[in-house]
Structure 1
Amino acid sequence: MMGTNHRIDIHTLSDDACQSIFNHVAFHERSKDECERLKDIGNKIANKCKGLPLAAKVLGSLMQSKRTREEWEDVLSSELWKLDEVDKNQVEKKIFLPLLLSYYDLPSVVRRCFLYCAIFPKDYEMDKDELVKMWMAQGYLKGIASRDMEVVGEQYFQVLAARSFFQDIKKKYREDIIFKMHDIVHDFAQYMTENECLIVDGNNFGEASVETSVERVRHLSLMLSRETSFPLFIQRAKGLRSLLISSNGYGWHEVALPDVMKQMTCIRSLNLSWSSIKEITKEVGKLIHLRHLNLEWCRELVSLPETMCDLCNLQSLDVFQCSSLNGLPRAIVKLIKLRHLCIIESGVAFMPKGIERLTCLRTLDCFTLCGGGENESEAANLRELKNLNHIGGILVITNLRGGIEDAVEAQLKNKKRLLCLKLNFCINLEDNNLIEVLQPPSDLERLTIGRYGGIVLPDWMMALTRLQQLRLYHCGKLEVLPSLGRLPNLESLSLYRVGVRRFDAGFLGIEEVENANNINGEIARVTPFPKLKTLEIWNLYELEEWDGIERRVGEEDAATTSIFIMPQLQQLEIAHCPLLRALPDYVLAAPLQGLHIIANCPNLRIRYKEKEKEKGEDWHRISHIREVSIY
């Protein structure tokens, strides 16, 4: 933390251990001859890591991109190593030398993006998309005709991750990519930014170091604890460009926020997420340079002021999980530079009319249709999606009903950047014709259909050859499923409250192939659900039969077909299927790692139970599975 003393604990390794870490990273995917040619100079570079594992990893990541011996020798003989000789008493500089080498090897635009990360507290879980939006707000990303700013930001992130400046990278809720910075990397970023980035704990507001440096600060992070008063010294930081308030969901007194906003005339990124604020002051409209506003998880926020629509440069607005927020400002359509509007799982009841004007949108994660009533004249209809062809990622359309002409005009199939589509209908309506005209782009990866009242699924579903995840829920009238086994890339299938009575050969997609083979007399290999790994079946109260096939998995019928069904299935979960009698042979022969028969499946429980005194008749057929739970 800037302005406070901190200690760096160093745990060192032997030279051999450091060399091993360095070689593992630096020589990844290199030929044996190349490794032999560079090994001697690599050991010399690794020895400069002073036994620090992080340094070995960072230097190894740097050398991955160096192909020639000359480039390796340039790193070994770099003038930066001489800093160690100039000032041997500064432990921090010694630790930072390997990082400096990798840092200065980065393009200047990427260096600037890395240093910005000094705004986050240590051990802070960063979100990749959020960080890219913050970089964008500072003007660090320049798009060109063929590449959006977001794509450029993604590339910069990948460069920094490849150089080991970021670690613990993983997927989280909403498919977000989250990550952290190592403490030493964080110290290095703050060391390089000097007084530009400041992190202040709520308990240190009175420290002289804060008071003396705040006027020079450009990026400020405040960590507020329960009932902390909002620090008035921020009014002196008139050049502030970023403000991140981390409160861990605790309430803080926001009474000073309007006065503070009057002073933050240069602010470009404002993060008030997880706070207990109930309203945004009208003064926010004066922050004309504001480009990024994050209000996610502000569950007590009830409204947004119309003055927010004066933010002519605003690029991203996030009100995810603002459950008390029931609407967006009516004049939001004035924000023609808006690129990201995240409103999913908020209380927003409908999209305001005129949303079609926001043609710069890259993210529009939820489009809620008005269900009639007094707001209908102010609400957008589905046809307003027509010209929003840049939206990508996830799109949830809720309250679907009627309006087939509007749905046709929406032209969802032209949203080529969409990866995930969720269609939520008004329950119990006949929607066969409506769903047919809601055809998504063919490259869609995830599809959810909920509360669908039709009796058949749309024809376009089988054209989604890149679909990886399919979820059907509350589709009670749907008694027959299409040949889902023929979707070549489907990895996850979830069925909840679907009216299906039987899983048969048509469900697998075998029937048509077998008929064709009988006609042609050819031998074919058929693999229904070739990539399916996870299958969830919940609340299928009408399901009685799950047909197997007469041939065992992989056994050839000399005249027709060799069949391999669900060859990659790893997890099967079944609950509340009271009529289902048994599991088919091909499921029991799959490489299952987990079988979970959770509740209200009496036939399955008797058949496969594992109690010592009264094992089920087919217990032996599932006993090899690593994780089995039946109750």
Structure 2
Amino acid sequence: MADALVSTILEQIMTTARLQVEHEVKLVVGVEKEIEHLKNNFQAIRDVLEDAERKQLKDAAVKNWLNNLKDVSYDMDDVLDEWSTAVLKWEMEEAENALAPKSVVSSFLRSYCFCFRRVARRHEIACKIVEVGQKLEDIAKQKAVFGFELHKAIEKEPDRQTTSFVDVSRVHGREDEKKNVISKLLCDSSTQEGRKVQVISIVGMGGLGKTTLAQLAYNADEIKTYFEKRIWVCVSHPFDENTVAKAIIEDLSGAAPNLVELEPLCKRISESIEGKKFLLVLDDVWEDNPRKWEPLKESLECGAPGSRILVTTRKDTVAKMMESDYSLLLGKLTDEECWSVFSQVAFYGRSQDACEMFTEIGRQIVDRCKGLPLAAKILGGLMQSKTTTEEWDNILSNELWEIEEVEKGIFPPLLLSYYDLPVAIRSCFTYCAMFPKDHVMERGKLIKMWMAQGYLKASPSKEMELVGEGYFEILATRAFFQDFQETDEDSIKFKMHDIVHDFAQFLMKDECFTVETDVLKRQKTGSFYERARHAIMTVSNWARFPQSIYKAGKLRSLLIRSFNDTAISQPLLELLRKLTYLRLFDLSVSQIEEIPSDVGKLLHLRYLDFSYCKWLKELPETISDLYNLQSLDLTWCVAVKKLPQKMRKLIRLRHLEIFGSGVAFLPRGIEELTSLRTLTNFIVSGRRGRSAAANLGEVGNLSHLRGTLWIEKLLNVRDVNEAVKAEIKKKKYLIGLYLLFNGDETELRVDQNALIEALQPPSNLQVLCISEFRGTLLPNWIMSLTKLRGLDISHCGSFEVLPPFGRLPYLEKLKIGVKTRKLDVGFLGLGPVNNGSEGISKNGENGEMAPVSAFPKLIELSIWKMEELEGWDGIGTSLGEKDTRTAIMPQLRELEVKGCTKLKALPDYVLTAPLLELRINECPLLSERYEEEKGEDWNKISHISEIEINYQRSKRPPRNS
């Protein structure tokens, strides 16, 4: 009886399942047809889109039509993303179900329920696709009203020069103004009775170079020497006295204050500068209300006589309000000065004939810059990629010069350069409108944000990240970005000029907004929130959570800066439930302790950033359901101890950053994340959590890794074969490798020499660090890394012989910290070598020594914590008199010797190197020998510009070159 009942149930289930499958097939076919119809309609519109983009500047009706089209485009993108994500999820669930053990009955029941849910979900998405299709069809019909012309958008990327960025740092036509400002900053203040702190203002319209002039003065050598404290604060608009006060304190102390109210902030400023001669630059000041400035001005009055405040502003009322002792009204550049700025960029890398061919047209273009250096720089960047006179004439005669509806002066050149870019690069530029003025951006992070928005399309020959780097270079060359700073992490930080930022916001004013506390910068309507796609929200210590954010239900990017856990924790769940279209969610630096599990329902999410959330304790397991996730950043999340166990499901994850976090191991199955390009750290698990942890061998499957990889706790490795399977040598895109031989195990489990040999990196590695290595020999492969620029071998054991590091041709930084009694000339690589290809070799019948160079590119050398080191040999001890053709460290600029308590003297070849900085700390014998004026060998180092002995620094004027 029971068997018959089961058979009947099974038969019914099978029949229902078959019908569901048939229905599903029909539904899929219908959806695919509708998607094809959508694409055809959109293509018809796209053909006239370029003409519409330009006409919207003069025609409000066209602008409204474009806004509607943009809204529908976003909706179409979202629903198609929903469809493809659902398909991916179903495929993964089917694969997982197939592997799970189950009975026959439960298998059929599960299949039936799964199939039913899938059909229901597909029907729901199909309805959305039909709805979006109808909207798009209506918009397509409306386009006939405007009489648009076919105007094909630029698709090809502009040609780039061989260098990443054209040098636009030189300033033309401001030498007199620079001298004037510096003289006012340095002049004797005794003539100003009763005023310790004078105010100097630089006043002028946007794009004239006020900030550049202030930077030139701020960084002048005589200014650095004259003032004890120098502070730079970007003020911008709107003005907030608390924010400015905090910025002053942070620049003075190096840390942001925890204070909230203005009075204690001003008191802290007074305490920090009391009796000290300071220079405070307030850049881009708009606020001219004296009542707002009075508390800050009073807090600065306790500085020493000679202190200065330098203000840059577009408004002369600000200079008056600040009671400026001197105001410099910055004028426009002369025609020749403007031509110098333009031609420096436009003619970069061209032949003399080419420069002459374009000079006449170029001067006519420069006439339209109206003396604005920023306009000249932007147009120079635009013309750099133009190679024919026809292209130059097209720019000169372009109708965008005649646009009166936009801000006069600077916007037409920006529009010309903007519309000369492919659509994808335009999107990358306008996305930056989301950030506040003077915001410091980081190239790698911005590229990941672009990727999350779908702006970067990979090709068979180029990955998305490389496409993004190319776009960045083009925007930088066009002067859309500026103030570049390279960091130690081989990254680039930069800003946008405030006028360029204004331009970006002009283009994106309906899509980006900022919420501070509970008040918007501008009052917004309900329809605005429906259109908004990108937002930054700041929640301060004393503020209520901004409820207005809930209205923006179609946001794609949300960056939250919260300094109050209680203010953000409770509303966070509601946020995640309302903002379901997010592709980027950034909570970095927030004081959040917990992430709701609902984050796993954000199916569109590509970018998730919790970096520097030091109170965050754990991640919900539901993060593993984010099938589209590309970037997960947990940098310095020190309280996060583990990652979600099912992270292997994140098959589209490209960047996993856990540097500085508390993560103890990576979960098993990490080898399935074959899309990974960035894996900052791999931690080898100890005894705890070994069953749940990935072993080192899983790295072998991650063939696309690039950038820098830290492999930590190598003492926990149980089998050398794990290192062999990791196949580090095949990771040809890695540029940095850090091998840390620390761990939880108290005893060595494997042969350390064999282990390090198995961890051989690719030959094009640029940075290598080996720390706490307990073997007896450095690996044989180390000298094959001929592209190394940085090498750090510290906290290591004793080696009988150091490799001849001096033969590494591109090495710029070297740090050595090993246990050895003597540092001989062997590591210079000056002995004979095989085939006579390197080092000193016999040359000819007379046996002459061939010219050699040891450490030809070395700039920084650090001898660190070598407590057993007693002698550091000079050239003469081993090779006789130094040959005039032998160059030893010819580029050395910085030398640090620290913790070498037994070392008695420095070698001759170091003392004769072109050193600019010498630091000797925790080395008693050396300190005595080279003590200023008293040491027996003081005369051998007295020519060096900066010397630090026992942490006491002294500076001398730089020697003549």
Verify the 8 A CA contact 1:58 1:163 in the aligned structure 2.
Answer: yes
Q: Relative to structure 2, which stretch is displaced further, 17-26 or 363-372? A: 17-26
Query: Which range is displaced more, 39-48 or 208-217?
Result: 208-217
Find the aligned partners of 1:78 and 1:360 in 2 and give their Cα distance: 45
Aligned pairs for 1:340-379 within 5 A: 340-373=655-688, 375-379=689-693
Per-residue deviation, residues 325-355 of structure 1 (Å, max 9, x unmatched): 0000001111111111001110000010110
The answer on whether the counterparts of 1:392 and 1:419 sit within 8 Å (CA) in structure 2 is yes
- Are 2:332 and 1:9 equivalent residues in the alignment? no
Aligned twin of 2:826: 506
Per the TM alignment, residue 563 of structure 1 is displaced from its structure 2 partner at its CA by 1.8
Distance in 2 between residues matched to 1:329 and 1:530, nearest whole Å = 48
Report the secondary structure of 1:512's partner residue.
coil
Q: 1:617 pairs with 936, 943, 951, which one?
A: 936
- SS of the equivalent of 1:578 reads coil
Query: What is the rounded CA distance, in whole Å, between the counterparts of 2:703 and 2:398 in structure 1?
Result: 49
1:67 aligns with 2:387: yes
**Are residue 123 (structure 1) and residue 428 (structure 2) matched?**
no
The Cα of 1:46 is off from its aligned counterpart by 1.5
Q: Distance in 1 between matches of 2:607 and 2:477?
A: 27
Choose 1 or 2 for highest CA Rg: 2
SS of the residue aligned with 1:471? strand
Decide which moves more: 240-249 or 260-269.
240-249
Change (3 A) 1:515 1:570: closer
Tell me the TM-score normalised to structure 1 length. Answer: 0.92
> What is the Cα deviation at residue 547 of structure 1?
0.9
Q: Which residue of 2 aligns with 1:486?
A: 807
Moved more, 298-307 or 166-175: 166-175
Counterpart of 1:594 in structure 2 is 917
Which of 449, 452, 476 pairs up with 2:770? 449
Name the residue aligned to 1:426. Answer: 742
Q: Report the equivalent of 2:928.
A: 606
Mapping for residues 156-305 of structure 1, pairs under 5 Å: 156-172=471-487, 174-202=489-517, 204-205=519-520, 208-209=523-524, 213-247=528-562, 252-305=567-620
Point out the more displaced range, 518-527 or 173-182.
Answer: 518-527
Tell me the percent identity: 50
Partner Cα separation in structure 1 for residue 564 and residue 332 of structure 2: 40
What secondary structure is seen at the aligned counterpart in 1 of 2:656?
strand
Find the counterpart in structure 1 of residue 351 from structure 2: 31
Match of 1:549 among 852, 860, 875: 875
Q: 1:438-587 maps to which residues of 2 (within 5 A)?
A: 438-496=759-817, 498-513=818-833, 517=842, 521-550=847-876, 555-556=883-884, 562-587=885-910
Secondary structure of the corresponding residue to residue 493 of structure 1? strand
CA distance in structure 1 between the partners assigned to 2:580 and 2:904 by the alignment: 68
| Higher mean C-alpha displacement, 249-258 vs 589-598 | 249-258
What do you get for the CA RMSD once the two structures are aligned? 2.4
* Contact 1:338/1:358, CA 8 A, preserved across alignment: yes
- SS of the equivalent of 2:503 reads helix
Q: Is the 8 A contact 2:624 2:649 kept in 1?
A: yes
Partner of residue 453, structure 2:
138
Contact persistence 2:529–2:553 (CA under 8 A): no
Q: Summarize the Cα distance change of 1:519–1:324 in structure 2 as closer, same or farther, 3 Å threshold.
A: farther
Amino acid across the alignment from 2:871: E
Q: Equivalents in 2 of 1:14, 1:443: separation in Å?
A: 47
Q: Is the 8 Å Cα contact of residues 251 and 275 (structure 1) preserved in structure 2?
A: no
Structure 2: distance between partners of 1:518 and 1:26: 50
Secondary structure of 2:619's counterpart equals coil
Aligned length: 614
Equivalent residue letter for 1:9 = R
How far does the alpha carbon of each residue in 1:1-40 deviate from its partner, in whole angstroms, 9 at most, with x for none? 9x99997938551333322222222222333343333333
Once residues 210 and 396 of structure 1 are traced to their aligned partners in structure 2, the CA distance between those partners, rounded to angstroms, is 49
SS at match of 1:42: helix
Q: Contact 1:296/1:318 (CA < 8 Å) preserved in 2?
A: yes
Read off the aligned partner of 2:941 and give its amino acid letter: I
Alpha-carbon distance, 1:413 to partner: 0.2
CA distance in 2, matches of 1:594, 1:278: 44
Counterpart Cα distance in 2 of 1:345 and 1:571: 28
The worse-fitting range, judged by mean Cα deviation, of 584-593 and 352-361 is: 584-593
User: Residues 252 and 486 (structure 1 numbering): CA distance in 2 closer, same or farther, change over 3 Å?
Assistant: farther
CA distance in 2, matches of 1:100, 1:616: 65
- Once residues 870 and 580 of structure 2 are traced to their aligned partners in structure 1, the CA distance between those partners, rounded to angstroms, is 66
Whole-Å separation in 1 of the counterparts to 2:829 and 2:705: 33
Equivalent residue of 1:46, what SS? helix
**CA deviation profile, 1:446-473 (whole Å, cap 9, x unmatched):** 0111111112100000100001101112
* DSSP 3-state at the match of 1:394: strand
Counterpart of 2:730 in structure 1 is 414
Q: Is residue 308 from structure 1 mapped to residue 633 from structure 2 by the alignment?
A: no
2:611 match: secondary structure:
coil
What SS does the aligned partner of 2:378 have? Answer: helix
Does the 8 A contact of 1:413 with 1:440 survive in 2? yes
Q: Larger helix proportion, structure 1 or 2?
A: 2
Q: Does residue 77 of structure 1 match 2:400?
A: no
| Counterpart among 405, 420, 429 of residue 114 in structure 1 | 429
Q: Which residue is 2:61 aligned to?
A: none
Instruction: Give distance in 2, aligned partners of 1:250 and 1:530.
Output: 53
* Residue 500 of structure 1, CA deviation: 2.2
Instruction: Report if aligned partners of 1:286, 1:311 keep a CA contact under 8 Å in 2.
Output: yes
Contact 2:554 2:579 in 1 (8 A): yes
What displacement does 1:69 show? 2.6
Picking from 693, 713, 731, the partner of 1:399 is: 713
2-side partners of 1:165 and 1:252: how far apart? 36
How far the C-alpha of 1:575 sits from its partner, in A, is 1.3
Call closer, same or farther: CA 1:319–1:204 in 2, change over 3 Å.
same
Question: Is the CA contact (8 Å cut-off) linking 1:481 and 1:500 kept in structure 2?
Answer: no
> How far 1:112 moved relative to its partner?
1.1
Of stretches 20-29 and 56-65 in structure 1, the one that deviates more from structure 2 is 20-29
Instruction: Give me the whole-angstrom Cα distance separating, in 2, the residues matched to 1:479 and 1:555.
Output: 27
Q: 1:123 to 1:290 in 2, by over 3 A?
A: same
- Aligned partners of 2:541, 2:534: CA distance in 1, in Å? 23
SS in 2 for 1:300: coil
- Separation (CA, whole Å) in 2 of partners of 1:283 and 1:350: 25
In 2: Cα distance, 1:251 partner to 1:15 partner? 57
Aligned to 1:559: none
Alpha-carbon spacing, 1:162–1:405, altered in 2? closer, same or farther (3 Å): same
Q: Secondary structure at the match of 1:178?
A: strand
Residue matched to 2:958 = none
User: Residues 486-526 of structure 1: CA distance to partner in whole angstroms, max 9, x if unpaired?
Assistant: 11111100123x10222212111112347853998253122
Tell which deviates more after alignment, 274-283 or 199-208.
Answer: 199-208
Which residue identity lines up with residue 907 of structure 2 in the other structure? P
| Distance of 1:134 and 1:230 partners within structure 2 | 25
The change in CA–CA distance for 1:385 and 1:104 in structure 2 (over 3 A counts) is: same
Q: Judging changes above 3 Å, is the alpha-carbon distance between structure 1 residues 96 and 318 closer, same or farther for their aligned structure 2 residues?
A: same
Distance in 2, matches of 1:603 and 1:221, equals 56
Give the aligned partner of residue 56 of structure 1: 376
Quick one: distance in 2 between partners of 1:624 and 1:269?
Answer: 54
Alignment partner of 2:903: what SS? Answer: coil
Query: Runs of 5+ in structure 1 lacking a partner?
Result: 557-561
The offset of 1:531, in angstroms, is: 0.8
Change in 2 beyond 3 A, CA 1:209/1:229? same
- Kindly state the Cα deviation for residue 310 of structure 1 after the two structures are TM-superposed: 0.7
Structure 1 pair 576–221 and aligned structure 2 pair: CA distance change class (3 A): same
Amino acid across the alignment from 1:35 = C
**CA displacement at 1:553 relative to structure 2:** 8.3
Q: Is the 8 A contact 1:12 1:52 kept in 2?
A: no
SS at match of 2:369: coil
Note if contact 2:515-2:546 (Cα within 8 Å) is conserved in structure 1.
no
